[in-house]
């Protein structure tokens, strides 16, 4: 199973003065994190498009391209690209360029995104969101399918036998559909034959099991080849050497993040009790020591059958050194645990099948 | 329908909220009909997987054949609801106006609440506004949580604070928010049953 990280490039906070660090430093910190993730054997790093001072990863493809030159194997993707407020042609050109520079390691995840700052920023309205999203996804997939492209829509001038270059090394870019759990999105991904990425950020992670089943059944109904039916999971998380220390430290940063998000969106600041509910057992927050996190990934895998899980660790101004240590533990400790557990499960299944 | 028990719940909308409420209603023993603007065949698979036991039907049938209707469509599309088939019905409005994510809609920017706007449109429907203050992922916790969700308490606390009642807001804080108990055993009644036995079921026209 693939493991990885995703980030919105959280800025640092000075522990003494309490002032926020620079957004420029956040870009360099993120590149450093991607390099380490590659070095410790992680499979995937996603940069989520985000447009706030506290999380300024607005130009993910540029960060990833910079990281591409100092990494070897790790896959580099968006998590997610806010497709509704971007031009699919430009998105494709940027990630196809990243794909060339990284020798075929680029991916796109198209989604709604975690916040709506990009709408006023790029002059889009939220009112026609669904229509905008469908149309842009359609164009993005068309560009990926073949070249030159001829296409017509309502929200953008038509393309007439236009070349969108460069072309990806292996012909196509992996394009995932990112969703927060609306059943219609699972249906859409299934019918379109796209791999699906679930953002599971609160509550019980296992409640996504029926959605994954809906996605798979819709895909099979549409005749999608088994190899193209893939599920990944993105969730908040943090790993430290000691489980209690991990929860004590990271809960403060998570609560800080959710408090500021809640002020904008009108929900209450979460309590520590609420955090503990989600950070244990089947909860959506994967916070603990390497063994606990490995066990929880495997437990969720049994319900969702996902092939990749990746974690947002740097939130609420988590110190960079803690972020890096968590990445190291995910690669050097959690990944071997998960691989071993799943091998045991597989060989047991094989033994059962043989009999 | 006065005095008649509620047996069939119709849910308009099969998104996160609609399917979560469908599952809860099924658990509580109701017959559940789910509908969207699409033909039933297009949501059959969705309903079968997300709310096993519920039936995918047309919006018209979900409204007409149900004793209680839940309106769980995106608020921006409320005018696709049919006032005619909903006339004479009790409908629960779980929809919210949320401009930062759904866009600004002039008709909801005024003084009146969104439910009053919807009520004006559905003139012959008895509209009940509830369940709109709970996150969809919390709906299913309600079987093992108290009726008042923490979000509502928070808003109450914030309101009392803003209106110069700090002692009241701090009392709400200490008395309720921190001690919100998670039930250790499943309660006998679901929230819908509880509501139907006290409020909705006894409503007469």
pLDDT tens for A72-124 read: 999 999 999 999 999 999 999 999 999 999 999 999 999 987 778 898 899 88
CB B30 within 8 A of CB B7: yes
pLDDT of residue A33: 98
What token pair was written down for B148? Answer: 């008042």
Range A55-82 average pLDDT: 98
pLDDT tens for A133-167 read: 999 999 999 999 999 999 999 989 999 999 999 99
User: What is the rounded radius of gyration, in angstroms, for the C-alpha atoms of chain B?
Assistant: 18
Residues of A in contact with B100 (CB under 8 A): 116, 126, 264-265
pLDDT of residue B10: 98
Strand A44-47 to strand A75-78: parallel, antiparallel, or no bridges (unpaired)? parallel
Pick from A265, A284, A305, A148: nearest CA to B98: A265
pLDDT of residue B167: 53
Checking if the pLDDT of B3 tops 80, the result is no
Query: Minimal Cα–Cα distance from A131 to chain B, Å?
Result: 13
**CA–CA gap between residue A187 and residue B70 (Å, rounded):** 23
The rounded mean pLDDT for chain B is: 78
- Band (pLDDT 50/70/90 cuts) for residue B129 is very high
- Residues comprising chain A, all counted: 355
Residues of A in contact with B104 (CB under 8 A): 126-127
ipTM of the complex: 0.89
pLDDT of residue B134: 82
Of the partner residues A126, A214, A268, the one whose CB lies closest to the CB of residue B46: A214
Checking if the pLDDT of B115 tops 60, the result is yes
Using DSSP's 3-state secondary structure scheme, residue A38 falls into: helix
CB within 8 Å: B154 and A183: no
Checking if the pLDDT of B160 tops 60, the result is no
pTM of the model: 0.87
- Residue of A131, A264, A267, A268 best to disrupt the B interface, most CBs of B under 10 A: A268
Query: Minimal Cα–Cα distance from B171 to chain A, Å?
Result: 16
Strand A196-199 to strand A231-239: parallel, antiparallel, or no bridges (unpaired)? parallel
pLDDT tens for A297-355 read: 999 999 999 999 999 999 999 999 999 999 999 999 999 999 999 998 777 777 777 65
**CA–CA gap between residue A311 and residue A216 (Å, rounded):** 23
pLDDT of residue A172: 97
CB within 8 Å: A214 and B150: no
Write the secondary structure of A134-158 as one string of H (helix), E (strand) and C (coil): HHHHHHHHHHHHCCCEEECCCCCCC
CB A232 within 8 A of CB A307: yes
Question: Would you list the DSSP string of A183-208?
Answer: HHHHHHHHHHT--EEEE--SSBGGGG
Sheet holding B55-56, edge to edge: B55-56, B31-35, B8-12, B68-71, B90-93, B126-129
Helices (H), A196-330: 209-221, 243-265, 272-278, 290-304, 320-329
The number of helix segments (H) and strand segments (E) in chain B equals 9, 6
Residues of B in contact with A116 (CB under 8 A): 100-101
- Residues comprising chain B, all counted: 205
**CA–CA gap between residue B36 and residue B49 (Å, rounded):** 16
CB within 8 Å: B137 and A207: yes
Pick from A26, A79, A82: nearest CA to A55: A26
Query: Minimal Cα–Cα distance from B100 to chain A, Å?
Result: 7
**CA–CA gap between residue A220 and residue A215 (Å, rounded):** 9
Helix, strand, coil percentages for chain B (3-state, nearest 5): 45, 15, 40
Quote the strand ranges of chain B, DSSP E: 8-12, 31-35, 55-56, 68-71, 90-93, 126-129
Of the partner residues A181, A202, A217, the one whose CB lies closest to the CB of residue B16: A181
pLDDT tens for B54-68 read: 999 999 999 999 999
Range B64-81 average pLDDT: 96
Residue B162: asked if its preceding bond is cis (omega within 30°), the reply is no
Sequence-separated (6 or more) residues with CB below 8 Å from residue B68: B6, B8, B9, B10, B89, B90, B91, B92, B196, B200
- Band (pLDDT 50/70/90 cuts) for residue A252 is very high
- Band (pLDDT 50/70/90 cuts) for residue B159 is low
CA-CA distances (angstroms) from residue A27 to A23, A41, A239?
Answer: 7, 22, 22
Range B128-156 average pLDDT: 66
Of the partner residues B15, B104, B140, the one whose CB lies closest to the CB of residue A182: B15
Per DSSP, B183 falls in state: P
């Amino acid at each position: 199973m693939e493991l990885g990280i995703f980030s919105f490039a959280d800025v640092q906070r000075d522990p003494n003065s309490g002032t926020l660090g620079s957004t420029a430093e956040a870009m360099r910190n993120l590149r450093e994190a991607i390099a380490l993730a590659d070095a410790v054997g992680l499979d995937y790093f996603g940069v989520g498009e985000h447009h706030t001072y506290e999380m300024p990863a607005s130009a993910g493809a540029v960060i990833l391209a910079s990281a591409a030159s100092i990494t070897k194997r790790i896959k580099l993707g968006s998590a997610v690209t806010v497709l509704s407020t971007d031009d699919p042609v430009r998105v494709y050109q940027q990630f196809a360029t990243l794909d060339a520079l990284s020798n075929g390691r680029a991916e796109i995840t198209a989604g709604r995104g975690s916040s709506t700052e990009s709408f006023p920023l790029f002059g889009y309205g939220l009112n026609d969101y669904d229509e905008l999203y469908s149309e842009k996804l359609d164009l993005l997939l068309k560009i990926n399918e073949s070249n030159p492209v001829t296409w017509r829509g309502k929200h953008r001038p038509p393309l007439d036998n236009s070349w969108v270059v460069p072309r990806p090394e292996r012909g196509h870019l992996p394009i995932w559909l990112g969703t927060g759990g609306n059943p219609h999105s699972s249906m859409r991904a299934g019918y379109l034959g796209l791999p699906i990425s679930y953002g599971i950020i609160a509550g019980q992670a296992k409640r996504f099991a029926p959605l994954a089943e809906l996605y798979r059944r819709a895909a099979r109904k549409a005749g999608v080849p088994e190899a193209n039916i893939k599920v990944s999971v993105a969730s908040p998380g943090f790993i430290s050497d000691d489980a209690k220390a991990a929860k004590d430290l990271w809960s403060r940063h998570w609560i800080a993040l959710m408090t500021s998000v809640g002020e904008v969106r009108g929900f209450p600041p979460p309590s520590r009790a609420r955090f503990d509910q989600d950070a244990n057992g089947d909860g959506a927050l994967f916070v603990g020591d390497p063994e606990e996190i490995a066990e929880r990934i495997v437990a969720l895998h049994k319900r969702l059958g996902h092939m990749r899980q990746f974690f947002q660790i740097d939130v609420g101004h988590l110190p960079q050194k803690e972020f890096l240590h968590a990445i190291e533990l995910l690669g050097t400790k959690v990944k071997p645990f998960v691989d071993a557990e799943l091998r045991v499960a597989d060989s047991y299944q094989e033994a059962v099948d043989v009999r | 329908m006065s005095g008649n028990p509620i047996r069939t719940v119709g849910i308009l909308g099969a998104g996160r909220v609609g399917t979560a409420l469908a599952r809860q209603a099924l658990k509580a023993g109701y017959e559940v009909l789910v509908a969207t603007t699409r033909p039933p065949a297009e949501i059959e698979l969705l309903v079968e997987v997300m709310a096993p036991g519920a039936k995918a039907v047309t919006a018209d049938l979900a409204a007409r054949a149900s004793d209680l209707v839940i309106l769980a469509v995106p608020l921006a599309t409320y005018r696709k609801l049919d006032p005619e088939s909903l006339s004479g019905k009790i409908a629960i409005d779980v929809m919210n106006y949320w401009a930062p994510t759904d866009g600004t809609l002039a008709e909801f920017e005024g003084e009146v609440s969104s439910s009053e706007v919807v009520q004006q449109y559905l003139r012959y429907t008895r509209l009940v506004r509830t369940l709109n203050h709970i996150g969809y992922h919390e709906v299913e916790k309600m079987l093992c949580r108290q009726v008042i969700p923490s979000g509502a308490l928070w808003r109450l606390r914030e309101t009392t604070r803003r209106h110069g009642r700090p002692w009241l807001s701090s009392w709400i804080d200490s008395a309720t928010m921190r001690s919100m108990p998670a039930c250790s055993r499943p309660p006998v009644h679901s929230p819908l049953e509880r509501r139907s036995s006290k409020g909705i079921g006894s409503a007469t026209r």
